[in-house]
Amino acid sequence: MASGLVGKFLNLIGFEEVLEEDAPQEEPALEPSLAYGGPRKGKVVGLPSSSGTGKVVVVQPEGFEAAKTVADHLKSRRTVIVNLEGVDEGTAQRIVDFASGAAFALNGTVERVGGEIFLFAPSNVDVVAPRKEEEDAALPWLK
């Protein structure tokens, strides 16, 4: 309120001081990166270019331990040909299942090249197989 003679006069003609009650102040919106405990740095992953030194690795496994080697090559974006001749049927099936899962997780492809020979390719390699072209021609709406 107005105090003193001047304040009373201003109050009389309608120029009084208005004291606003303490209104709740809005908190500034936090940036999403700051809202959860501070700035975060994203991982930057470099991908090798598709042109240049593409390597093809041939693996002839003796046991299931070779499946990890195939998955490591796929993670390094190398194409792997696995020759399962000489491996018992149960172990060969486990190797193919493991390597197929790794290829699927990395958006790669799996192709059976021969009776016991498989091609595992990472996502940066396009595999063109005659069987695939026939399927694509028969079902063009699935592209």
Other C-beta atoms closer than 10 Å to the C-beta of 137 total 8
Higher pLDDT among residues 78 and 4, named by residue: 78
Q: Does residue 89 register a pLDDT over 80? A: yes
The Cα–Cα gap between 15 and 77 comes to 78
The Cα–Cα gap between 134 and 79 comes to 23
Looking at residue 14, its amino acid is G
Render pLDDT for 97-140 as a digit per residue (tens, 0 to 9). 999 999 999 899 998 888 889 999 988 888 877 765 555 666 56
What is the DSSP secondary-structure string of 90-133? HHHHHHHHHHHHHHHHTT-EEEE-SSSEEEEE-TTS----HHHH
User: pTM for this one?
Assistant: 0.55
φ and ψ at residue 98, rounded to 5 degrees: -65, -50
| Average pLDDT of the residues in 69-86 | 90
Give the pLDDT of residue 52: 44
pLDDT band with cut points at 50, 70 and 90 for residue 80: very high
Q: Are 118 and 81 in contact (CB under 8 A)?
A: yes
CA within 13 Å, CB half, 99: 35
Q: Does residue 40 register a pLDDT over 60? A: no
Q: Report DSSP state, residue 136.
A: H
Give the pLDDT of residue 132: 58
φ and ψ at residue 82, rounded to 5 degrees: -110, 120
Give the pLDDT of residue 10: 74
- Over pLDDT 90: what percentage of the chain? 20
- Which tokens sit at 53? 């030194």
Superfamily covering domain 56-142 = SepF-like protein (3.30.110.150)
- The secondary element (H helix, E strand) that includes residue 89 is helix 89-105
Mean pLDDT (the chain) is 75
